[in-house]
Amino acid sequence: MKKFFILIILLAVFIVSAQAQNNNLHIVQHNDTLWDLSKHHYKNPFLWGKIWMNNTYINDPNLIFPGEIIEYTKHGITIYQPKIKKIIEPKQVETFEKFDSAVWSDGKNYYSDCQQGMCVWKKSNFDIGKISFDEYKNMEVSLNDTVYIKTNKTLPHFVYVYRPLKDYSLTDSSLSIYTPIAIITINGKVKNAYKGTITKAMCEVSKSDIISTVYPFKNLAKKTGETYILNNVPVTDLYTRHVNLSKHLGYDIFLKTDKPLKNIVGKYIYIDRVSENIPENSNIGKGVVLNQYKNYLLVHFHYSNNLKEIMDRTQNYVIR
Q: Is the pTM of this model over 0.85?
A: no
Condensed to tens digits (0 to 9), the pLDDT of residues 111-164 reads: 887 766 778 889 888 999 999 888 777 678 888 899 999 998 888 898 999 988
- Provide the 3-class DSSP secondary structure of residue 311: coil
Q: What is the mean pLDDT of residues 193-212?
A: 90
For the cut 80, the answer to whether the pLDDT of residue 303 exceeds it is: no
Quote the pLDDT of residue 51: 80
The average confidence (pLDDT) of the chain is: 77
| Residue 268 clears pLDDT 60, i.e. is over it | yes
**Percent residues over pLDDT 90 in the chain:** 9
Q: How many Å separate Cα 140 from the centre of its chain?
A: 39
Which has the minimum average pLDDT: 76-85, 237-246, 272-281? 76-85
Task: Provide the pLDDT for residue 249.
Answer: 67
Domains and CATH numbers, the chain: 2-71 (3.10.350.10), 93-218 (no CATH), 224-320 (2.40.30)
Mean pLDDT of 93-109: 81
CA distances from 107 to 103, 177, 211 (A): 12, 10, 17
Q: How far apart are CA 287 and CA 285, in angstroms?
A: 6
Q: How far apart are CA 46 and CA 81, in angstroms?
A: 9
Q: In sequence order, what are the residues at sequence separation of 6 or more whose Cβ sits closer than 8 angstroms to the Cβ of residue 310?
A: 240, 251
pLDDT at 39 exceeding the cut of 50:
yes
C-alpha distances in Å from residue 38, one per residue of 33, 53, 152, 178, 236: 9, 12, 92, 83, 85
Higher pLDDT, 156 or 76: 156
Predicted pLDDT of residue 79: 43
